[in-house]
Chains A and B, each alone.
Chain A
């Protein structure tokens, strides 16, 4: 158990819809990261927040947005969903040591 909690674990929705994925970081971790992993692919960095502020941005689509709240939990919002958005979405947190600890992921299926 990494201490990072993600919900929901599984989500099935239709094209054009919007979903929100939630992440609670490890206790004391200020940084939250979001990664996307498509089938049999590597992990693609989406975005990082540090203590409520956006710190780094990767290949995140404009249809996607994220935020980190004062209690340090984070949400990833995916809108106007397309079939290609089907993937595992991972949240990770760290204490700024460079070591990331990952949650179990949210599996999104877009039909």
Chain B
């Protein structure tokens, strides 16, 4: 089935550092979504991208939809302790009205040393 390859799997950084993670697919996606999951909670949508080449920011977060439509990256600037968590990329491999399951990457686990 459709798979998203997310890297790195884990990151250990110092507070204040910038973070970059990416997601690739073997097939074209029309939408890229980035979620964050805190321990024991549900994923929360951070950024949604709908157009190839689109660059979108949400505070210290910036994400881009790759022009090939097969990749996306997420950057976090000046990391703070509350950025700790697991970041997932996701996308619908096929978009038909009413049928929009999302497939998720394996996640990037971010750990921040104060």
Contacts and interface: CB of A to CB of B under 8 A. Distances in A.
**A and B: bona fide binding partners:** yes
Interface of A: 2, 4, 30-31, 33, 42-43, 45, 48, 50-51, 55-56, 58, 90, 92, 94, 96, 98-105, 107
Interface stretch (B13-21, B61-69, B103-111): B103-111
B43 interface: yes
Contact of A55 (B30, B31, B88, B98): B98
Contacts, number: 68
Interface residues of B, number: 27
A102 B99 contact: no
Contact of B41 (A42, A56, A96, A105): A105
28 contacts: A2-B42, A30-B98, A42-B104, A43-B90, A45-B103, A45-B104, A50-B99, A51-B98, A56-B99, A58-B101, A90-B42, A90-B43, A92-B42, A98-B31, A98-B50, A98-B100, A99-B33, A99-B45, A99-B48, A100-B33, A100-B102, A101-B45, A102-B43, A104-B41, A105-B40, A105-B41, A105-B42, A107-B40
Contacts of B82: none
B28 interface: no
Interface centre among B30, B101, B104 (most CB of A within 10 A): B101
Interface centre among A30, A45, A51, A92 (most CB of B within 10 A): A45
